[in-house]
A and B are shown apart, each in its own frame.
Chain A
């Protein structure tokens, strides 16, 4: 497993490099990087409440990250997790406030609605990809804007709760995802995310279908030659990825907000994608990277009160991580390509 170790070392170096660059930026705003980073750590893990807060932020990133992992393993990018998350969140809210069902069942039906909404939303780019060979990166990115604005429209014009805020009526308590502890809003969503991560890893490793998907991702021509229906597999991989994206939104609605509102979950879908990329498409590693981004988010709350640095510094660091991780991945790919050429050049 030396290639895996090499990939891990590469990602680690990329993150450290990004943190070093981030430190330069912090120095530029006349703050001490050490103070900023220790404040971040304290904000994320300082006491049991803060740890719970970090895990609460981690949950939607983790589930979104698994959605992105599924597509990555099939050799595709689902950049539309954000949109699927919004639609899933809205669908869950709709089921949550519009129907009265027994506890348990209500949660289940709302989550299924979220899953179906996410799957339906990615079905359009997925179909375009199979039918017209459209690049799914572009079509899924674009579908995000439509999803965010569409759910805003639903919220403001069709299902607005009486009163000032742009939000739907609250869901019935029978649709709440149960909380894990009395002192925090941390809920079963985290457990769902963890189960999902292990289930996805297990599927790719231990089932014939998962093998076919992995091979489609890592060596598409080989998979095609071996009899894998690459197009059909690709379509269903995207559908499942979108479904998990929708689930991320449903969990966020039923576990945290208990309603859908404008600006419902800003950036969780994108953070999930970055977490998945940083994890090299491994669902298990995504648990760690999602926790990292969750900690950055929750730690940043303390940043503004305790230091002179703005919370936006987190966005800067995240952006730097994206840049250095992509650079690192590209460099590694190019190295492979050169080695391959060397082998076959006569």
Chain B
């Protein structure tokens, strides 16, 4: 245990080794026997589609989740990561996707939060600020230690998160999609910092969707697909298209159902649409498309490229900054959510637990939402709870919701069954337009099939459907046309019958359709 006397050459070359890590959530295997070896002093990128198991693997490594099988070694020694404090003690530091900073405190106070430097029992602000300044200079993380965090930009907040990790003595830094919130300039500065870490003998693991960045900054790449590590290679040996091929599941697990051509008139029309996200950054840039009756238009893209904002704007839950959208003959951009529903929208929201249901209420009560002023739910001045119960019982049967009855509390149900409650409500509104965001997120395979069948049935009824999903295979199975979104823009449009995963994958990574087709 006397590390000081150990010669450097005897230290094993891997800073971190994960051996045979398996992590299951119920019947879902998020990590399936993953081996990952990270060389000391290197930058190791982990790439994969959403749901491939990247974040789960990092949470296992950092002690936030306990693996069902497998072993973690730090500097060659096995370690049980019982909780994050063990990981921190082992020299690991994690920079999360969502920052956890206190806006009213200064930069230095945030950096030392929970481990304040004390002099005679009082917080020594000067020492904390000096130490923050010293670290920020050493690694090129320019910050003013005395400034209030609430006044700073996202890029600087991330530097503070990195400083927090460094102050806690991290020798291995894990970053979960660090560039998702950064401007290109900020990303470049971050990469310089990460390079500096590696040159200093530290180790960096970072998760990313952006393949250019991976190529630019990493030494080694591990590709995860459906919970398995399918390849680990030196970055220089892989091209971008090879990475995409490894990332995207080639075996389409769902057969594309036969479909009669039933397309009719245009129902939803979106033109030159712009909108901002919650941080007031542009989230939609010049988006235009149509959805016709009896057509499923899919929106593909890596999560966080504007799909959520698109759905919210169409549903009237987020203002557009520019552009036009019409549903039927009505301009919907100025309308309230209720008026848009009256104009013909039914909406399966992506954030099921927050938007889609009231988890504490009963199934019957959840099925009333939006229809409380209509028969059969309304009778005269009153809500008819008997009719609502009858309706709910019918829906439970028709949509195969596994529950004890209409009075069952929604949050007690499984994810798939909660989603069926939402579908049962939205699919029975006789709306000519269906907006469906992530229909099968967190839903098991059996329920996925049922939900897909239900969506196809809606299509056959001549309903116009906009289907947003981060699961490419889902879109390739269901959509008549797939639009690819990247950084708030539509990169291209692909016919569902002729869709090619590699091409869509490249567009999802930000390559323009013309280039993709020129390369093909």
Contacts and interface: CB of A to CB of B under 8 A. Distances in A.
Contacts, number: 79
A187 B56 CA distance: 65
A182 interface: no
Contacts of A227: 336-338, 341, 370
Contacts of B357: 219, 222
A227 B346 CA distance: 11
B116 interface: no
Interface stretch (A141-149, A206-214, A262-270): A206-214
Contacts of A219: 354, 357-361
Given A225-B355, A344-B353, A211 B370 contact: no
A218 B360 contact: yes
Interface of A (DSSP majority class): helix
A228 B316 CA distance: 12
Interface in A215-260: 215, 218-219, 221-229
Contacts of A215: 358, 361, 369
Contacts of B99: none
A310 B180 CA distance: 63
A32 to B, nearest CB: 42
Interface residues of B, number: 40
B30 A225 contact: no
B354 A222 contact: yes
B356 A222 contact: yes
B88 interface: no
A346 B349 CA distance: 19
A211 B372 contact: yes
B442 interface: yes
Interface string B347-369: 10101011111111100010011
Nearest to A225: B355
B385 A206 contact: yes
A3 to B, nearest CB: 6
Given A219-B361, A225-B355, A346-B55, A208 B337 contact: no
B113 interface: no
B369 A226 contact: yes
A3 B409 contact: yes
A343 interface: yes
Contacts of B338: 227-229
B117 interface: no
A340 interface: yes
Contacts of B341: 227
Given A3-B360, A207-B383, A227-B336, A212 B372 contact: yes
From A3, A205, A212, A343, name the one whose CB has the most chain B CB atoms within 10 angstroms.
A343
Nearest to A222: B358
Contacts of A226: 337, 369-370
Contacts of A206: 382-383, 385
Contacts of A229: 336, 338
Between B349, B355, B381, the greatest number of chain A beta carbons within 10 A of the residue's beta carbon is seen for: B355
A3 B349 CA distance: 26
Interface of A: 3, 205-208, 210-212, 215, 218-219, 221-229, 340, 343-346
When A and B form their complex, which 10 residue pairs have the shortest distance between CB atoms, in order from nearest?
A227-B338, A219-B358, A226-B369, A208-B372, A226-B370, A225-B355, A211-B372, A227-B341, A221-B354, A227-B370
Interface of B: 25, 30, 51, 55-56, 59, 315, 317, 336-338, 341, 347, 349, 351, 353-361, 365, 368-370, 372-373, 377-378, 381-383, 385, 409, 411, 415, 442
25 contacts: A206-B385, A207-B382, A208-B372, A208-B373, A211-B365, A215-B361, A218-B360, A219-B360, A224-B337, A225-B317, A225-B337, A225-B349, A225-B356, A226-B369, A226-B370, A227-B336, A227-B337, A228-B338, A229-B336, A229-B338, A343-B353, A343-B411, A344-B442, A346-B30, A346-B51
Given A226-B369, A227-B341, 16 more contacts: A3-B360, A3-B409, A206-B382, A206-B385, A207-B382, A212-B372, A215-B369, A218-B361, A222-B369, A225-B347, A227-B370, A340-B353, A344-B353, A344-B442, A346-B30, A346-B51
